[in-house]
Amino acid sequence: MYEEKIHASRSFYNLNDMKAKPVSLVITLLLCSSCALQSDLVILDRRVTALRQQVSQREERIKTLNSEIATYQDKQIKTDRTLHNKQADFGALLNRIRNRLQELRGRLEENEYYVKRREDVLANTESRQEERWKALEKSFQSSLDRIVRLEQYLGMEPSEKLKSPSTEKSNTSAKKTPDNLYVKAKQQFDKGKYEAARNLFQSFLEQYPKSKEADNAQFWIGEIYYREKWYEKAILEYQKVIEIYSKGNKVSSALLKQGLAFLNLGDQDNARLILKELVRKYPGSNEAKIARERLEKFQ
């Protein structure tokens, strides 16, 4: 009887053990699952934190880039405005130069008209003088013939030294050379006889356009107009030196005097441009030194 009770008690405990094991297993599984979820949450939280840091860094980088872009855009806008203003100023300067040149051409045409009229008057005067000269020459030759006939009549030896002006003139012209003509023109210039010098220099250029002194002759023509204070004409004559005789030794002098002529006309913009061009092309010349001194006064 006692053994049966013991056996029944063991059977009861065994039954309870069998019922307790599934509950314990579930609790264990839940605890393990909870631990696994907590570990994943920690890892996920770390990843989220890392992502937030990356996003924050990228946002800071984007802000920096936006600031740099804005600064660059501001600089670019200022640069564009500066270039636009310079282009506008340069365009206005070119327009003023064109207008000034047009005005100079107009004055030149007007002056050339008056010069032409003056030349016509001089030509008429010279024509009349030539006619008078021919009449005098004819009268002189007639007198010579009468003297010769009178000497023959008196039995005297005719004089060989009596020669007509036309003979002397032809002998003088026969000896004319480029150097002689240039020297004669320069002598007239040095004496201040500008009209005669100009005519001789122009005649020299017409007869000997390829002479080694051609650029000098052209320069002195411009210089005559400059000294006569006809600055518009002087500028155009100096321009011929610069364009036609660009390899000659008078280009730097022509540029300098052209700039000074513009100054005398009150046109400082064109004067500045020409003097700067002189300094750029002939930096070591005496003319460039004078040009620099003039440019410093513009500052």
| Domain CATH code at residue 281 | 1.25.40.10
For residue 294, the one-letter residue type is R
Could you tell me if residue 239 is inside a domain?
yes
Strands, DSSP E only, in the chain? none
Judge whether residue 243 has pLDDT over 60: yes
Residue of 205, 208, 210 lying closest to 221 (CA atoms): 205
Judge whether residue 11 has pLDDT over 60: no
Tokens coding 134 = 């021919």
Structural domain of 282: 176-299
For residue 82, the one-letter residue type is T
Lowest mean per-residue pLDDT among 87-91, 142-146, 255-259, 270-274: 142-146
Whole-number Å distance between alpha carbons of 108 and 116:
12
241 with 215: CB under 8 angstroms? yes
Judge whether residue 294 has pLDDT over 80: yes
Q: What is the per-residue pLDDT for 193?
A: 94
220 with 185: CB under 8 angstroms? yes
For 52, 56, 58, 69, the CA distances from 66, given in Å and listed in that order, are 21, 15, 12, 5
Residue of 292, 278, 234, 272 lying closest to 97 (CA atoms): 272
For residue 14, the one-letter residue type is N
Could you tell me if residue 138 is inside a domain?
no
| Packed helices 165-174 and 2-153: angle between N→C axes, nearest 10 degrees | 150
Q: In sequence order, which residues have a C-beta less than 8 Å from that of residue 129 and are 6 or more positions away?
A: none
Could you tell me if residue 64 is inside a domain?
no
For the chain, the C-alpha Rg in angstroms (whole number) is: 54
Confidence of residue 106 (pLDDT cuts 50, 70, 90): confident
Could you tell me if residue 136 is inside a domain?
no
Whole-number Å distance between alpha carbons of 284 and 82:
33
Confidence of residue 140 (pLDDT cuts 50, 70, 90): low
* Mean local confidence (pLDDT), 267-275: 93
Whole-number Å distance between alpha carbons of 253 and 274:
12
Q: What is the per-residue pLDDT for 192?
A: 93
Could you tell me if residue 124 is inside a domain?
no
220 with 197: CB under 8 angstroms? yes
Judge whether residue 160 has pLDDT over 50: no
Could you tell me if residue 279 is inside a domain?
yes
Could you tell me if residue 247 is inside a domain?
yes
Judge whether residue 280 has pLDDT over 80: yes
Angle at the Cα of 272 from the Cα atoms of 291 and 222, rounded to 5 degrees: 70
Angle at the Cα of 121 from the Cα atoms of 117 and 127, rounded to 5 degrees: 140
Residue of 258, 259, 254, 252 lying closest to 284 (CA atoms): 252
Could you tell me if residue 298 is inside a domain?
yes
How many distinct structural domains can be found in the chain?
1
For 126, 160, 164, 168, 170, the CA distances from 173, given in Å and listed in that order, are 18, 21, 15, 9, 5
Q: What is the per-residue pLDDT for 15?
A: 44
For 91, 236, 240, 271, the CA distances from 244, given in Å and listed in that order, are 28, 12, 5, 21
